[in-house]
């Protein structure tokens, strides 16, 4: 299927005069007070040198504002390499409030509310004034929350609960988009166990699931090979639930007595210059995580790549005999419910095999006929719908990639699970709903400006912006026939999340599961 480009791509506009707030949590809130604060005190590091940076950051409170991806300034108003750091003494004096205003602005769940608040003045990067916002749960003056925007780093801001009893306090995160004068509020789910809040009956295709592309490629490697900043364990601990794994298969005797070790690769390259990494080690990480977090599931896409001469059929036979035979795996052909998948690895099969392709066959979710380099495509089995446009030959084409990714988010958002319903009707709905898989990754081997980290530096902030402001808003996206259902994002497969502790993109994706919780 071709991409729908009937609407022009978004262009940057002048910043709005006043702030808009979007409440994407289940908690009704009221904005009660806004205060303007004098600018924080900063120290400035020399632009030309980061020498001793780690030592300096131990001596100051707060986090740096350098880009999590590269030293290049990115588009869209975020993540530049300024080398500014907040300085806060051990016993700082209270910040001076230069102005304040009492308000009563209702923020119902999943609504957008304009305000009369002018954005904070920015003297230079993060050295401008801040706003302190105070929110309250309706009719509960003892349950208030505050945050200061912009934060002292580019990352999201945790709201601080104000009250005597925080036993029932909500955990809420604010993401501020300064160039849009826009604040989005998300539920601060425990990312290590976010699936524990969802009912067993929900099919995985109805969820908003963060994923990573070439998931184990976090090691020192060729720049075009490395796609991730942190280990698979750290990814899982921070909410990732879809792993994309490429495996080399040598031509060997499947009946050999010893379990064959299968090397992890990215295309024809090893994923680490320091030595071979193996599938068995990766699976140990995943199994350990699931043992510690039995409420969770991990979807794993397995694909044969590399220089090995083994066939897809041999690869499948090795997996079935040596790797998939335990109760740790869900290998049926149909998309499972969350209850069926908890504590297990769900196989997404990107190789041909003789496993069989039926719902109850043990071949995994069939992605063997995978459309290549498409903006919108359906796998041969019909169970998976994908956006995987990856051949970006020029920097200008990154805008096309962003457009296609947003359109796939809109297609996923249309799906609507009709609840409550009986078991048979729920099963029929599950069979009719494909699994949306949306790759944010792209690269060009021959152009250093288009290596995975550089593209992620442009794509990821724009995805955060889209998920905060535009996702699930009828008429605001790029598809003429945009209709909003449950607003699930589907599986969103990312590069370079978690660098420098920045998990905002993952948190935005997970946060959209709250919309589904309204109906269950």
Residues 180 and 49 in one domain: yes
Q: Does the residue 87 lie in any domain?
A: yes
Preceding amide of 150 cis, omega within 30: yes
Distance CA 467, CA 416 (A): 18
Task: For residue 147, report the phi and psi dihedrals to the nearest 5 degrees.
Answer: -150, 160
Domain boundary among 152, 187, 222: 187
Residues 167 and 266 in one domain: no
Residue 42's beta-bridge partner residues? Answer: 86
User: Would you put residue 76 in left (φ > 0), alpha (ψ -120 to 50) or beta?
Assistant: left
| Distance from the first to the final alpha carbon of the chain | 33
DSSP string spanning 329-390?
A: EE--SSPPBHHHHTTSEEEEE-S--SS--STTSSS-EE--S--SS-SSEE-TTSSEEEE---
Q: Does the residue 6 lie in any domain?
A: no
Residues 198 and 263 in one domain: yes
Pair of tokens at residue 364: 């995994």
Q: In this structure, are residues 109 and 28 in contact, taking their beta carbons and an 8 Å threshold?
A: yes
Element (H, E) at 314: helix 312-318
What pLDDT is attached to residue 188?
86
Residues 301 and 419 in one domain: yes
Q: Report pLDDT digits (tens) over 366-401.
A: 999 999 999 999 998 899 999 999 999 999 999 999
The position carrying tokens 């026939």 is 481
Residues 431 and 480 in one domain: yes
Q: Report pLDDT digits (tens) over 462-516.
A: 999 999 999 999 877 666 666 789 999 999 999 999 999 999 999 999 999 999 8
Residues 128 and 204 in one domain: no
pLDDT at 449 over 60: yes
What CATH number should be reported for the domain holding residue 195?
3.20.20.190
Question: How many structural domains comprise the chain?
Answer: 2
Distances (CA, A) of 297 to 236, 239, 357, 463, 475: 10, 11, 22, 24, 34
Residues 129 and 143 in one domain: yes
Residues 203 and 145 in one domain: no
Q: Does the residue 153 lie in any domain?
A: yes
By residue range, what is the domain housing residue 161? 20-187
Residues 93 and 137 in one domain: yes
Residues 179 and 149 in one domain: yes
What pLDDT is attached to residue 426?
80
Is the pTM above the cut of 0.75?
A: yes
Domain boundary among 187, 212, 231: 187
pLDDT at 151 over 50: yes
Helix, strand, or coil (residue 183): strand
Residues 284 and 346 in one domain: yes
Residue 102's beta-bridge partner residues? Answer: 33
Distance CA 210, CA 292 (A): 19
Q: Does the residue 233 lie in any domain?
A: yes
| Secondary structure letter of residue 278 according to DSSP | B
What pLDDT is attached to residue 356?
59
pLDDT at 44 over 60: no
Query: If you average pLDDT over every residue of the chain, what do you get?
Result: 86
Q: Does the residue 4 lie in any domain?
A: no
Q: Does the residue 11 lie in any domain?
A: no
Overall average pLDDT of the 123-148 stretch: 85
Helix, strand, or coil (residue 438): strand
pLDDT at 199 over 80: yes
pLDDT at 225 over 90: yes
Q: Does the residue 507 lie in any domain?
A: yes
Least confident of 88-97, 99-108, 139-148, 246-255: 88-97
Q: Among 176, 188, 181, which residue's Cα sits nearest to residue 239?
A: 188
Domain boundary among 164, 187, 210: 187
Q: In this structure, are residues 43 and 85 in contact, taking their beta carbons and an 8 Å threshold?
A: yes
Pair of tokens at residue 179: 């160039």
Q: Report pLDDT digits (tens) over 58-106.
A: 322 223 333 334 434 334 334 343 444 444 444 345 678 999 999 999 9
Residues 102 and 246 in one domain: no
């Amino acid at each position: 299927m071709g991409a729908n480009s009937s609407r022009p791509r978004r262009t940057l506009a002048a910043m709005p005069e006043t702030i808009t707030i979007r409440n994407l949590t289940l908690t009704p809130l009221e904005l009660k007070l806004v205060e303007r604060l004098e600018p924080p005190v900063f120290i400035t590091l020399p632009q030309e040198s980061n020498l001793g940076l780690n030592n300096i950051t131990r001596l100051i409170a707060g986090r740096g504002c350098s880009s999590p991806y590269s030293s290049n300034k990115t588009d869209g108003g975020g993540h530049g390499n300024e080398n500014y750091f907040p300085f806060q003494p051990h016993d700082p004096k209270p910040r001076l409030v230069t102005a304040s205003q009492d308000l009563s602005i209702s923020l119902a769940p999943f609504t957008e509310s304009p305000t009369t608040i002018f954005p904070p003045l920015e003297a230079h990067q993060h050295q401008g004034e801040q706003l302190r916002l105070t929110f309250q749960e309706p009719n509960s003056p003892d349950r208030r929350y505050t945050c200061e925007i912009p934060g002292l780093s580019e990352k999201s801001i945790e709201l601080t609960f104000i009250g005597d009893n925080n036993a029932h306090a909500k955990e809420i995160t604010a993401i501020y988009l300064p160039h849009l004068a826009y604040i989005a509020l998300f539920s601060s789910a425990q990312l290590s166990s976010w699936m524990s809040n969802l009912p067993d009956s929900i099919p995985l295709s109805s969820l908003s699931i963060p994923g990573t592309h070439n998931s184990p490629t976090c090691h020192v490697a060729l720049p075009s090979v490395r796609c991730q900043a942190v280990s698979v364990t750290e990814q899982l601990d921070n909410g990732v639930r879809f792993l994309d794994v490429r495996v080399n298969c040598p031509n060997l005797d499947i009946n050999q007595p010893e379990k064959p070790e299968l090397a992890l690769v990215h295309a024809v390259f090893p994923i680490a210059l320091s030595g071979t990494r193996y599938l068995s080690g990766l699976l140990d990480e995943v199994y350990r995580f699931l043992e510690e977090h039995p409420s969770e599931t991990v979807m794993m896409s397995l694909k044969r790549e590399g220089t090995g001469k083994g066939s897809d059929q041999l690869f499948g036979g090795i997996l079935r005999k040596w790797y998939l035979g335990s109760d740790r795996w869900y290998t049926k052909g149909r998309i499972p419910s969350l209850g069926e998948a908890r504590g297990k690895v769900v196989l997404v099969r990107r190789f041909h095999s003789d496993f069989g392709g039926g719902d109850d066959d043990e071949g995994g979710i069939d992605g063997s006929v995978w459309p290549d380099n498409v903006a919108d495509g359906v796998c041969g089995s019909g169970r998976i719908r994908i956006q995987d446009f990856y051949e970006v030959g020029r920097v200008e084409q990154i805008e096309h990639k962003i457009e296609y990714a947003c359109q796939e988010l809109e297609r996923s958002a249309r799906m609507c699970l009709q609840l409550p319903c009986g078991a048979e009707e729920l099963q029929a709905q599950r069979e009719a709903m494909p699994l949306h898989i949306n790759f944010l990754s792209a690269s060009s081997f021959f152009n250093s400006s288009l290596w995975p980290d550089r593209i992620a530096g442009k794509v990821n902030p724009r995805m955060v912006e889209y998920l905060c402001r535009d996702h699930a808003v009828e008429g605001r996206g790029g598809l003429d026939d945009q209709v909003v259902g449950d607003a699930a994002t589907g599986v969103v497969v990312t590069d370079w999340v978690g660098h420098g502790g920045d998990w905002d993109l993952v948190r935005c994706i997970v946060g959209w599961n709250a919309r589904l919780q309204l109906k269950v």
